[in-house]
Each structure stands twice: as C-alpha cells, then as structure tokens.
Amino acid sequence: MSADTQTPAQTSDIPAPKILAEAGRRRTIAVISHPDAGKSTLTEALALHAKALREAGAVHGRGGRAGVVTDWQDMEKQRGISISSAVVQLDHRDQVINVVDTPGHADFSEDTYRALTAVDAVIMLVDAARGMEVQTRKLFGVCKTRGLPVITVINKWDRPGQEALQLLDEIESITGLKPTPMTWPVGIAGDFRGLLERGSGEYVKYTRAPGGATLALEERMDAVRAEAVEGSAWVQAVEESDLLSISDGDHDEEAFLAFRTTPVYFTAAVANTGVGQVLDSLVDVAPSPRDQPDVAGATQPLPGRFSAQIFKTQTGMNPAHRDRLAFARIHSGVFHRGMTVRDNRTGRPMVLKHVQTVFGADRSTVDVAYPGDVIGLVNARHINVGDTISEAGKVEYPPLPVFAPEHFRTVRPKDLGSGKSFRQGLRELDAEGVVRVLINDAHGLGEPILSAVGALQFDVVQYRMTNEYRSPVRFTELGFTTARLIEPDVLPILRTKRDVEVVENADGQMFALFTDEWRVRGIERDNPGIKLQPLVATSA
C-alpha cells in the first residue's frame, strides 16, 4: 500500500509543498488499444515488473487468462476480453503509478472514454502485425482532443509482423506525432532477441522464463559484445537507430508533453520482455498530475482543498457483500479517511469512512491519498458517474462523455417470481452505465427498455443478471436506432406519432425513441416548433 502513513488527524494540516511533492510522485495513465492487442497482458506484466505480483496469469493467450488481475469478472475470464475498466496501483522507484486498464471493444467505448478523463497520459498499444487498427485510431482521437501525451508500445514482437520502420511510418502518418523510439528491437518481428536501449547504447538480451509467468532473464552487454553475440542483427539495429537520430527520431520531453512526439517501446508482453523499460518510462517520461480546470473555467490548484470526480461505479466486485464501489480520481488536495465532503450535484454531505484502493478485484483500506490517486468509495449509492465531491462543496468539474445509444431492447425476467432481484439488478447495472434503463407507460417497470451503445452490452446484462442477481432475462429487439432529449411540452404531439416511443430514465430525463434519423427529420419538418435535442456523443 503506497498511501502516506500519517494519521487522518494530521492530514488536514499537510502543507502545500508536501502535497505538491506527493502529487509529483504520482503517475496516472490508461492503457488503450484495439481488442486483443494485449492491454490486460501488458498491465499485468507491468505489475509483475513492479513486484506487485509473483506470477503473471496471462501466459497462454485467451485460454490462459484466468489469472489476469484486471480481468476479474467471470465473463471477462471466459471470453478473454475486457468489458470494464479496472485499476491497479503500483510502486516503482519511489513513485506511485495508477494504471487504468480499459476495454478495447467499441461496444464498451463509453467506459473507456470516461476512464480517459481520469488520467494524465496514455499507453497506446499497437499490435506489431496489425499496426494502427480502427479502435486504436478512434481512441487516439480522444487523446488528441484532451491533449493527453501518448506513449506508444509496439507489442507482440515475438510474433511475425511488420518491419519496425514501416510501423513508425504508419504511426506518424495516422497520428501526426513524430515517433521517437526509446528502445529498438534486435531481430525482426518473430525473432525477438533483445533490445537496443537507445539512450545508453546497451544491449539487453532476453531469455524467456519457462511458461512466461515470471520475469524474463536479462543479460546486459556493451556494443562490442552485442555484435559478437548477435552479429548482423545487432549491426542492423544500430544502423536503424542511427538513421532515427539523423531524422530527428530522438526523444524530447518538451515535444512529448506538447503532443508533438510519442516515445516508442517494443515489447513481447506475454513473455514479459521489454516491459521493464515501459515501466521506467512511466517514471522518467510520463507527466505527473497538474492543476485541473473546473466547469466554470477556473483552475483548481493541486495543493488546494480536496476535490475529486467520479468516473466509474462498479457493483459485484465483492460477491459476498454485493457492495458498490464508486471510483474517484483526486484532482486537488488531500483525502483523509473520515473527512466530510459534499456532492456538487445534490449538495448532500457525506463522511468518507469506507474508502479503498484497488488492485483488480482486490481492495485495501486507504487512510491518505493525493492528487492523481484513484480511490474507491464503498456503498456511496447516491453518487452518480460524473459527480464532483469536494471539501468546499462548490467545485464542479466538466461533465463526462455521453454516447448516443443505437440499440434498444425490452427486457423481462424469465421467472416472474424473481421480480425483486430483477429490479435490483437493472437498477445497479444502470447506475454502473452497463446499459441505460428507460421506462414508459406502455412497458412499465415489469418490462423496461434497455438502451446501449453496442450490442455486446446486452450480453453483459444477460450474464450478470443470471450469475450475479439470479434473475435470468429475456430480450425483445425494438425497431429504434436513435434517441432524442425532449421537453414535456412536446409530449402530446409525439404520443400521437407512429414509430415513436416516449421514455424516461432514472434521473427523470425524458427521451423519444425513433426508428431512424429520417423519422426525426420528418417530425421536425412537420412540426416546426418541436425541439428534438440530440444526445451529443462527446469525446472531450
């Protein structure tokens, strides 16, 4: 546990220099990529190198993911995909590193985009064979919008893939960032012998540990011995590294933080090779937390009063207790256990007695935390995603991304006797943002409408309702593809229209569901006074 050891009574008087020093020790980053590029495997390999794990669980591809720390849900283990953001906190070289492992699949983009509001930089994972895939490009666009510095990791170099220089050209042409490799592979993709560390000129030769579950054996050597051992493969690596230097391919920290360059690392995360250099980069290269603007445009200074924003909630991390965890990123000040804060949305005060840090599904109580840390508020059931909590009670950070749903289904329990579990499950999944639950007079509470960004979200609902809430459900597809926010004064008109359904969410917001965009335009054309407000799919 990396939290400061001071008692809660002392932390309220922590001086500004101490807060700034602790914030300077923090690195909060997200790992993003297209599905199956190895995000969870890399996150676990980072934990292994930080000595937070004895063995890595992801050693045999999808069939061996049962031990992956960040994929703790049963459905994630079975399908071999991440469906929800997960957090691990690591200690390395006297620094505290908060790593957010995000889902790669587009159907869970809303979860990923919200996680990106809670970090200061990202690791963008690129498959050595597939290069910059579709979802990676979309997520990079979010990072560009938010100005998040990007560290690029080219993974799976132990498998056949593209040429290293070719991959750099692709990354630059798509992102506009100049790649500045910090390590360079010795041996082509599929023949990964080791790495040339461009800063020192040393060669790190790897020997994979049996099974790949522990750290690979490393042997460091100078250039003379490296050439004697690797011959032409080493000579080629040196020549390519020199070519990079000639073409301005050396790292510049100022250019990186200004979103003009991206440092690049080569890894085979499943074999735990090249990962130590990535972990070091989070200390040497990644930025620490900075002052954050609030919704009014004012800056909240790091050493100011405590404030944090909820970017995710999760139910079911502890099946024995069915509790709910609200994840908050601290933006300013010091958290200390037992402090009283206010929720900006409701004005409601709350005492933060039960607060934890997380390591996948494992949790431990935290007494003190600083800007950049991610803390989990236990059973804060009135807290919503996007809420700001603060000591002063007057701070509000910008709203989190909202995605327009494109899939709609009614849902009802298979067993009518499980009504209580059915309602509880949907209420909690709605609060997490797994899906949105919509109610109207036609369907009522017994058969609500679920809305989702992607169809896989319904699979998650089916699985969790069956296995967590013991209330298997049935879905019925609806013919709607778009939703609009509406005001109460347009209800009489919309209720007379065919192919339109008026619904309400848990917050009392009213929506109209339409079969397609043509139907929306037709109603607006025929009724000039109607305002049908789009649900803006913001990524900022």
CA atoms within 13 A on the CB side of 485: 11
List the beta strands (DSSP E) in 222-278: 261-266
CB 194 within 8 A of CB 203: yes
What are the chain's domains? 30-284 (3.40.50.300), 292-390 (2.40.30.10), 407-534 (3.30.70.3280)
What is the CB neighbour count within 10 angstroms for residue 402?
15
Q: Which residue has the tokens 């130590």?
A: 276
Strand partners, 261: 178
Nearest one of 516, 482, 314 to 403, comparing CA atoms:
482
With a cut of 70, say whether residue 540 has pLDDT above it: no
Using pLDDT thresholds of 50, 70 and 90, give the confidence band for residue 10.
very low
Is pLDDT at 211 greater than 80 in this prediction?
Answer: no
User: In 26-108, where does DSSP find H-type helix?
Assistant: 39-49, 74-79
CA–CA dist 452, 27 (Å, integer): 32
pLDDT (tens digit per residue) in 233-249:
999 999 999 999 999 99
Residue 474 confidence class, pLDDT cut points 50, 70, 90: very high
Q: In the structure encoding, which two tokens stand for residue 117, read together?
A: 């509001």
Q: What percent of the chain has pLDDT over 90?
A: 55
Q: What is the pLDDT of residue 345?
A: 87
Digit-coded pLDDT (tens) for 415-429? 988 889 999 999 888
CB atoms within 10 A of CB 396: 17
Grade residue 303 by pLDDT with cuts at 50, 70 and 90. Answer: very high
- Residue 1 confidence (pLDDT) above 70: no
Over residues 480-510, the pLDDT tens digits come to: 999 998 888 888 889 888 889 999 988 888 8
* Type of residue found at 36: D
Rounded to an integer, the average pLDDT of 450-463 is: 88
**Residue among 443, 439, 464, 313 at smallest CA distance from 380:** 313
Q: Which residue has the tokens 């949305």?
A: 345
State the average pLDDT for the chain.
86
The pLDDT value given to residue 4: 44
Residues of the chain with pLDDT > 70, as a percent, come to 86
Q: pLDDT tier at 212 (50, 70, 90 boundaries)?
A: low
Distance CA 439, CA 247 (A): 60
Asked if the model's pLDDT at residue 286 lies above 70, the reply is yes
pLDDT at position 6 over 80: no
Q: Above 70 in pLDDT, residue 110?
A: yes
292 SS3 class: strand
> Residue 208: what pLDDT?
81
Residue 21 predicted with pLDDT over 60: yes
Q: How would residue 72 be classed by pLDDT, with cut points 50, 70 and 90? A: very low
> Any idea which of 122-136, 260-274, 420-434 has the lowest mean pLDDT?
420-434
pLDDT at 53: 67
pLDDT of 245-270, one tens digit each?
A: 999 999 999 999 999 999 999 999 99
Predicted pLDDT of residue 382: 83
Query: Residues 98-107: what's their mean pLDDT?
Result: 73
pLDDT band at 76 (very low <50, low <70, confident <90, very high): very low
Is the pLDDT reported for residue 475 higher than 90?
yes
Q: What is the pLDDT of residue 113?
A: 84
pLDDT value at 478 more than 70: yes
Angle at 161 between CA 155 and CA 162, to 5 degrees: 100
* Structure confidence at residue 8 as a pLDDT band (50, 70, 90): very low
Lowest mean pLDDT among 152-166, 466-480, 521-535: 521-535
Q: pLDDT grade, residue 183 (50/70/90)?
A: very high
**pLDDT digit string (tens) for 186-210?**
999 999 999 999 999 999 999 887 7
pLDDT of residue 108: 66
Give the residue from 135, 271, 277, 173 showing the smallest Cα distance to 215.
Answer: 271
Query: Which pLDDT does position 71 carry in this prediction?
Result: 41
- Mean pLDDT is highest, among 98-102, 165-169, 521-525, for 165-169
Q: In this predicted structure, what is the pLDDT of residue 220?
A: 96
| Alpha carbon separation from 317 to 35, 76, 281 (Å, rounded) | 23, 13, 31
Structure tokens given for 291: 């002052």
Is the pTM higher than 0.85? The answer reads no
- Torsion angle in degrees (nearest 10) through CA of 77, 80, 81, 87: 50
* Greater pLDDT, 121 or 505: 121
pLDDT confidence of residue 140: 92
129 DSSP 8-state letter: T
The residue with greater pLDDT, 206 or 1, is 206
- pLDDT band, residue 81 (cuts 50/70/90): very low
